[in-house]
Amino acid sequence: MAQTLNKQQREAVKLIGCPVLIFAGAGSGKTRVLTEKIAYLVDKVGIPPEHILSVTFTNKAANEMKERILKLIKCDVTKMTVGTFHSVCASLLRKHIHMLGYDNNFTIYDQSDAKQAMKNVISSLNLDIKTFQPNKYQYLVSNLKSKMIYPNDVLLTTDIYIDEILKEIYERYNELLKENNAVDFDDLLLLPIQLFKQEKSLLDYYQNKFQYVLVDEYQDTNKPQFEFIYNISKNNNEITVVGDDDQSIYAWRGADIKNILNFSNSFPNSKIIKLEQNYRSTKTILDAAFHVVSKNKNRAEKKLWTENEKGDPIYINEFENENKEARGVIDDVLESVDKNHTLNDMVLLYRTNSQSRVIEDRLRRESVPYHIVGGVKFYDRKEIKDILAYLRYLINPKDSISFLRIVNFPPRGIGKSVTEKIIKQLNTTDSDLEGILKKLDNLGLSAKQIEKVNAFNQIIRKLKKTKDKTALETVERLLEKIKVKDYYTNKDNPDDYERLENIQEFVSSVSDFSDRNENNGIGPFIEEVSLLTDIDRWNANEQKLTLMTLHSSKGLEFKSVYILGAEEGLLPLTHNNDDDDLEEERRLFYVGVTRGIKKVSISYANTRRRFGVSSMFSLRSSFIDAIPPELCSFNSSSSYAKQLASKIAKPFKPKDEFKINDMVSHKLYGNGKIIMIQGIGDNSKISIKFRGNMIKKFIKKYANLKIIN
DNA sequence: TTCACAGAAGTTTTT
DNA sequence: CTTCTGTGAA
C-alpha cells in the first residue's frame, strides 16, 4: 500500500459538495480512500462525527474502519454511525418501529426462522406442503421484497408472476410476522423506507442527522438499500459511493447493478472518479484476472494497472479427483509454510460450501489448524438456536416461532396436540400468544396438559426476573433451569458431546460480550448475534488456514490464494444457460483471483463426487482457458501424480498420540485417565475415567483432550 | 408423547 | 453422503 495517496485518491477524498461515485477496481485502495475521506470530513471540513453515516458490507469492515479512523484523527468514533445496512436499519427501527404498529422489542428472524414461519403459514392455509414448498415460497417472497414488490402489486411483467396463491401466502406471511412482533432481513430494509414515507418529520430528522453519507461495495446494493440512502441524502447531496461493477456478485439476492451504473441519473451533478492503480497484486495476477473478466459484455470499460513486479505465474493444477485435489493443495500449503509463508497468509476458496468437506477431512488428518468461514454457521446450530429462542422469547413473548421451538425442549411432555390447539387459538382469535398462555381453560386441554404448560410458564416467569441482568447471568440461569446439559449428557449419542462443547463455547461468547459492552443485557446481545455474519467471527491473525467461499472473500486479500474446483458446471456453476448468470460467475472468479497478492493457484479435478455416490467427469473451467497460457504454469495430472508418488510413498499413518493409562485433561470434566481406545485416528472413541470413577466416552476429534504429565 | 428407524430429498452463493 | 421427515411401536 502506498504511503501517500495518489492523485485520483486525493481527489476522491477532497471532493465534497456534490454526489461522488468512485469506480474503484480491486486493490485500488478504496477502503483507504473512504477512511481518509471520513477523517478529512471530520478533521478538515469540520463535520461533527454524529453527522456521518458510513455503510459497509460486513460488521467486521465497519469495526476496522472505525479503528483506522482513530489512527488518523482524534475523534469520538462511537458517535459516528458505521455499520451494515442491516445493522443501521435495525437500530433505527429499535427507536421508531412503534410508529408502524410493532413493539420496539421486536425479534429479527433469520432465514431458518423465516422458513419456519413460512411453513406455518402454508399449513395454516391448508395447502399441501409438498406442492407449496416452504423453501421455495420463502425464496419467492424474499425476492419480491428485495425488489420492493408488495402483495398487491400483481405484476405480469416481472420475472416472478404473483398469482392468487402466492399473493395470499405473501400477505399471510407478513401478517404472521407482525403478529409475532418480528421482522425478517428484508423487512429490516423495507420498514425504514415505509417509516420515512409515513412520518415526514422522521425523514427530516435523519436527513439532518446524516449530513454526509458514504457507501462501500455500492455495486452490491439492492433496491431497498438504494431507496434508504437516496431518501436520506437526496436533499443534502453529500454522498460518496464506492464500487466496482466487475465485483458485483450478489445479483441473485436482488443486488441491482443499475444502482451504480445509473448513479448520475439518480444524483444530479455528480462527479465520477476512477481509481485504476492496483497496489495489491502482481502484474501477472492482474493480467490473468483481466483476461477473464473482460469477456463480459456487460461491463464498464476500464483496465487496472500496477507498478508491482511480474511475479510468479498462475499455477494451474489438474487432479484425478476431489480427494487428490485436496491432498495436493494442502501439500502445497504445507510446503509454502516451510518456506516463506505462514498459515494465515493463505486462503482456500471454492464455489460451494459443500466442497469444504473433503478439504477438512484432509486437514484434520494432517493436523493442520484451520478455520471455515460460512457453511453451518455457529449460531445456526440446533443447540445454540434453542438457547437463543429462550432468550428471544423472554424479550418478545409474542414470538410464536421461538415459543414452538422451546415449549417442549428439553422434552417436558408437551406434544403436538397441545401446540396445535394453541396455534389454532392464535389464528382464529384476536388474542396474542401471551394472552392465550395466561388462560388455558378454554383450549380444551386435559388437566395434565394444563399442568405441563403451566410448568413451562413457571420456568419462563422465573427467568424473566433475570431479564434485566447481564446476558451472561441470564444465560447461566437459563441453562441451570432447563437442565439442557443434563439432557445432552445423559443420552449416549456421540453428537451430543459436540453439542455440549458448542454450548460451552456459546457461554464464553456471551461472557465475552458481557465484558466487551457496557450495555450488556440479553437485548443487545441478541441484536448483535442476529446480525453477525460468519466472517465477523473470523480472526485473520490466528495461525490457521482459512477456508471460505468465493463470495465471502470479497474485500479481503491474501499473500497466496488457492481456488479449488475450477470445473465447468461448478465454477462456473450453471443451472440454466443464462448469459447474465455466466457473467456473474465470471465476476466471482475475478473476485477470487484478485484477492491474491503474490501467488494464485487454480486447481480442478477430472472426476468429482456429488451427492456422495455418482462420480461424474468434469471439464476444466472455461475461465482457466481465458487466461493466456504464457501467464500460467501447468501441472498436468500425470506428471503431478508422479511427483506425488515419490512423496506420498510413505503410507499415511494416523497420529494417535494417546495411549491407555495416559493422564489427560478435559475442558468440562477436568483430569482423567484413559482406560480404553476403540478404533484409530480422529474418529476413535476414547473412554476416560474421571474423578469419582465417572467414566465418559468421547470421539477423539471432538473431545479436545490434552495430555498432562 | 417419545424415540428409533427407514425412506426421501437435496447443494449455489448470504444479510 | 448427509439431513430432514414421516411412520410406527413402546
* A550 closest-nt by C1' vs CA: B13
Task: Read off the C-alpha cell for A170.
Answer: 405473501
Catalytic residue among A30, A324, A362, A586: A30
Q: How does pLDDT run across A318-342, given as a tens digit for each residue?
A: 999 899 999 999 999 999 999 889 9
* A613 closest-nt by C1' vs CA: C1
Q: Which pLDDT band holds residue A696 (cuts at 50, 70, 90)?
A: low
Residue A224 CA to residue A85 CA, distance in Å, equals 10
Structure confidence at residue A447 (pLDDT): 81
Q: Which residues pair with A241 in a beta bridge?
A: A21, A215
Which 3-state string (H, E, C) describes A319-343? EEEHHHHHHHHHHHHHHHHHCCCCH
**A136 counts as catalytic:** no
* A119 closest-nt by C1' vs CA: C5
Distance from CA of residue A110 to its chain's centroid?
A: 11
For the residues A185-196, what does the mean pLDDT come to? 96
Q: How does pLDDT run across A70-117, given as a tens digit for each residue?
A: 999 988 888 999 999 999 999 999 999 999 999 999 999 998 899 999
Structure confidence at residue A380 (pLDDT): 85
What residue has its CA nearest to the C1' of B11?
A354
Residue A347 CA to residue A538 CA, distance in Å, equals 13
A356 pLDDT more than 70: yes
A158 pLDDT more than 70: no
**A380 counts as catalytic:** no
CA A662, C1' B3: Å apart?
A: 37
Q: How does pLDDT run across A557-603, given as a tens digit for each residue?
A: 999 999 999 998 898 887 666 788 899 999 999 999 999 999 999 99
Could you give phi then psi for residue A604, rounded to 5 degrees? Answer: -145, 155
> Strand B-proximal residues, CB under 7 Å?
A 58, 84-87, 110-111, 133, 135, 185, 252-253, 351-354, 374, 408, 411-418, 449, 531, 533-535, 548-549, 551-552, 573, 575, 581, 610-612
For the residues A479-499, what does the mean pLDDT come to? 79
What residue has its CA nearest to the C1' of B12?
A352
CA A283, C1' B7: Å apart?
A: 55
Structure confidence at residue A264 (pLDDT): 93
Coil, strand or helix at A473:
helix
Dihedral (Cα; A374, A380, A381, A387), 10-degree rounding: 150
A690 pLDDT more than 80: no
Q: Is A125 near strand C, with its CB below 7 A from some atom of it? A: no
Structure confidence at residue A1 (pLDDT): 41
H helical segments located in A294-413: 322-338, 356-365, 382-395, 400-406
**A247 counts as catalytic:** yes
Q: Which residues pair with A274 in a beta bridge?
A: A23
Q: Is A495 near strand C, with its CB below 7 A from some atom of it? A: no
Which secondary-structure segment (H or E) carries A609? strand A596-609
A370 pLDDT more than 60: yes
For the residues A467-481, what does the mean pLDDT come to? 89
Q: Which pLDDT band holds residue A623 (cuts at 50, 70, 90)?
A: very high
Q: How does pLDDT run across A194-248, given as a tens digit for each residue?
A: 999 999 999 999 999 999 999 999 999 999 999 999 999 999 899 999 999 999 9
How many C-beta atoms surround the C-beta of residue A68 within 10 A?
17
A709 pLDDT more than 60: no
Which secondary-structure segment (H or E) carries A688? strand A685-690
A195, A252, A246: which is closest to A218 by C-alpha? A246
H helical segments located in A130-222: 134-146, 164-179, 185-198, 200-209
Structure confidence at residue A491 (pLDDT): 66
How many C-beta atoms surround the C-beta of residue A272 within 10 A?
12
Dihedral (Cα; A8, A9, A14, A20), 10-degree rounding: 80
Q: How does pLDDT run across A643-661, given as a tens digit for each residue?
A: 444 433 323 223 346 666 6
Q: Provide long-range contacts, Cβ within 8 A and 24+ apart, for A651-659.
A: A652/A365, A654/A365, A654/A680, A654/A681, A654/A682, A655/A367, A656/A680, A656/A681, A656/A684, A657/A707, A658/A686, A658/A700, A658/A705, A658/A707
Q: Is A611 near strand C, with its CB below 7 A from some atom of it? A: yes
For the residues A389-415, what does the mean pLDDT come to? 90
Q: Is A692 near strand C, with its CB below 7 A from some atom of it? A: no
Asked if the bond preceding A410 is cis, omega within 30° of 0, the reply is yes
Catalytic residue among A217, A287, A527, A567: A217
Q: Is A617 near strand C, with its CB below 7 A from some atom of it? A: no
A188, A91 Cβ separation under 8 angstroms: no
- Average predicted confidence (pLDDT) for chain A: 86
Q: Which pLDDT band holds residue A668 (cuts at 50, 70, 90)?
A: low
Residues, chain A: 709
Residue A271 CA to residue A258 CA, distance in Å, equals 17
pTM of full prediction above 0.75: yes
Distance from CA of residue A451 to its chain's centroid?
A: 41
Chain C: nucleotides under 7 Å from a protein CB?
Answer: 1-3, 6
A681 pLDDT more than 90: no
Task: Read off the C-alpha cell for A598.
Answer: 503474490
Residue A142 CA to residue A41 CA, distance in Å, equals 37
Q: How does pLDDT run across A258-272, given as a tens digit for each residue?
A: 999 999 999 999 999
A525 pLDDT more than 90: yes
Percent share of chain A, pLDDT over 70: 87
Residue A639 CA to residue A645 CA, distance in Å, equals 10
